[in-house]
Amino acid sequence: MTTIKATCPDCGDVTLTIADVRLEIEETLTEPVSCFAFECRACERHVRGEATPEVVRSLSRAGATVRHFRLPAEAREAHSGPVISEDEVIRFGQWLEQAPDPIRALVPA
């Protein structure tokens, strides 16, 4: 059985099986961004770290689960301004439910 040595920020060095580790590969416009991920058995923390091409090859060959995904471009854009609160989201949802024509109200004439 393949064993993998990794480090949990809280627990230190841990030993994992190939079933414990995932590869997460984000497809981007330039080149993929790869990470490994696992749940620490001792503290149950979700741990992610950068996976070099060598780590990707090794984990792939060993049979790790690979998850490919693509984030929308907007997720990488810089954002500024105040954070929207949960109360503001709730009020907006309530407004959407009662507004007779919310699209017309939101689009400038």
- Residue ranges and CATH numbers for the domains of the chain are 1-71 (2.20.25)
Residue-level pLDDT at 98: 94
User: Which is nearest to 36 in space by CA: 98, 81, 20?
Assistant: 20
pTM: 0.62
Task: Kindly report the three-state secondary structure assignment for every residue of 40-99.
Answer: CCCCCCEEEEECCHHHHHHHHHHCCEEEEECCCHHHHCCCCCCCCCHHHHHHHHHHHHHC
User: Which is nearest to 19 in space by CA: 66, 64, 67, 68?
Assistant: 64
Residue-level pLDDT at 73: 78
Give pLDDT tens digits for 58-85: 999 999 999 999 988 787 788 899 999 9
| CA-to-CA separations, 75 to 20, 55, 72, in angstroms, rounded | 28, 26, 6
SS3 103: helix
Reading the block at residue 66, the tokens are: 């690979």
Q: What is the DSSP letter of 20?
A: G
Angle at 105 between CA 99 and CA 109, to 5 degrees: 160
Give pLDDT tens digits for 17-62: 999 999 999 887 778 889 999 999 889 999 999 999 999 999 999 9
> Length of the chain in residues, anyone?
109
